[in-house]
Structure 1
Amino acid sequence: MERNSTAGGAEDLLMEGKISKLRAGSLHKHELAEAMEVEQEGLVEHQPLEQDDLNFEKWKPKPKPKRTLHEKIEDLKTYLWNAETKEFMGRSGKSWSLILLFYSALYIFLAAMFGGCMCCLMWSISPYTPTYNDRVMPPGMTMSPHVDTAHGFDIAFNASDRSSWRKYAKALEAQLRPYDDAVQERRNILCERNTYSMQDNLEESAERKACLFKRSWLGECSGMKDKDFGYSKGKPCILLKMNRILGYLPGQGVAVNVTCGLKKGSTDILGEVLYYPDNTFNMRYYPYYGKLRHVNYSSPLVAVRFTGVQYDTQLHVQCKLNGKGIINDSPTDRFLGSVSFTLEVGA
């Protein structure tokens, strides 16, 4: 019994030894294979490049073959209409229909939105009176003749030289044509003097009556008797007009008047100054209701005639508006309540 047990133990030890050797051998083979792979990679890395690898020309893109004009035309025809795929400019009929439908819907929506915004805007404002009036309430003043826009309000002429003053006479004649007596009597009505012509009791859209202003009221400066407006005699006329301001009542119950004089120097060289029909802007021409309601409105005028100007002397003349609420000495706006010009008369 003991012998058998001893023999069995020896066999077990022998078997374990064989197994350990086999394991050691397999591990050795695996390590050997890994080492060989590493060595092989090193050899590959240090292996010199072949001549074919140094030929970089083969890596360059090959030039496209030149196409003839006929081929280009054929490609263009195919692009415009491909009979095989039934495509027009690279798209099928369904694709084009979807694109046209999308952009049509988009632009119709944008147009409708813009139209709606404009309708809301026009509905919210009045065409007769501005919602916000940012105009300068004190009125400005302009003069005529004004023929040389490059040099401002300058009047220079020789009384004996018709060509030197003819342009001034033509400008005055053109401005006074709408004030002809027959035209004014046909279009406008005679209003009461020295009172505002209030017509606020009418509907907003109703037309307002305009007060007539006859050309004949300007006397020597009307151009009816003297077609030259005094320029041929060395006694020139000018016309002054106050700017229109919607709903404005100048003078606050007292008519605004005009005075003309020299900016600097003695008033003797300017001579006598005459005003037609007088030197005021009568209150009956105010307020102004806008061109949509005051259709035939004619702005009142004040004609000024210089009867004794010293010849060959350049005079710096200024005409001013005077009245309540009037500003005529603004340092930044030379047309606010006044107008300045140079006057030089030669024999």
Structure 2
Amino acid sequence: MDGNDEKRVWGIHTMNDALFLNDNIIAIGWRDMGDLKQIEGNRDSFKERYNKVYPDSKKGAVANGAGMLYRFVYDVQIGDYIVFPSKIDRRINIGTIESDYIYNPDATEYVQQRKVKWLKHLPRTSFSQGALYEVGSALSFFAVKNYADEYLNALDKSFQKAMISSEDDESVGATADDIVETTKDYILKALSKNLKGYELEEFVADLLSAMGYRTSISAHGGDSGIDITAYKDELPPRILVQVKSQDGDIKETTIQSLKGAMHEGDYGLFVTLSSYTKNAQKYLENTPIIKGINGTELVELVLKYYDSLDEKYRKMIPLKMVYIPVSRDDAS
């Protein structure tokens, strides 16, 4: 992208996706560090302050923590780009920095803040595995270097989904959490690539069978809008399932069509590889007899019932059970 050479690309993580997306800010913690502008503007002073505030920190933690805080205040410039992978909806959010550093002492935890303008919210499947690895950094705030161009190119209208196979895709080192996230990305990409239309319906029917439901797939081309009928046992209630493999988010009117096909006593299930618009989400919240499953939730079910899936689907999504190291806190 011409004109972006002087702009840097940063990556950030948070435990509070809603704060970033709803309030149009990015923020990092270290509340006890106080107002970072009160620290002399050099890295040594930041390390000195960090040591005083967190005296039990190891040398590496001091360097990393102080470095992130210094970069957040002094290295980041208005107009720089920010890449934020949100876990709540498995999107890559790209925006621009809109303000200088702000200290917000009223914030519960994330007191070190900057305002941002979000430009695009794209599914993780749009990016190469290497790009996803890079923003899966173990650091809370970091510079994006190796795949900066890929994220900037994503802002172009002509941007195409990566959908890169594992053989062609570059990768970088991953932590245990990265491996879990990568596995979920891999599954969603495999489903998106290999299952469209009726094939996705057949897969969902097999998954429901693995979950203990009796299922029957509707005849292709039927006008009822119902793709699968499922029962938990021999008796009602009946569960009517609609499956959509489209890329775009599901609208409220589409879910209403499922509601219109249901009879009294029926329950509805809507399954999509993408997600739902805000209005559709509100409709689902207000219509408890219909359950909506998005791509993220579908992947979770695949992982949970993987061993019971038909062999052809396990070949399509070849996974191997492995043990990976985690921190002692996570293991306890």
TM-score normalised per structure 1: 0.20
TM-score normalised per structure 2: 0.21
Q: Report the structure number with the largest CA radius of gyration.
A: 1
- Whose RCO is larger (CA < 8 A, sep 6+)? 1
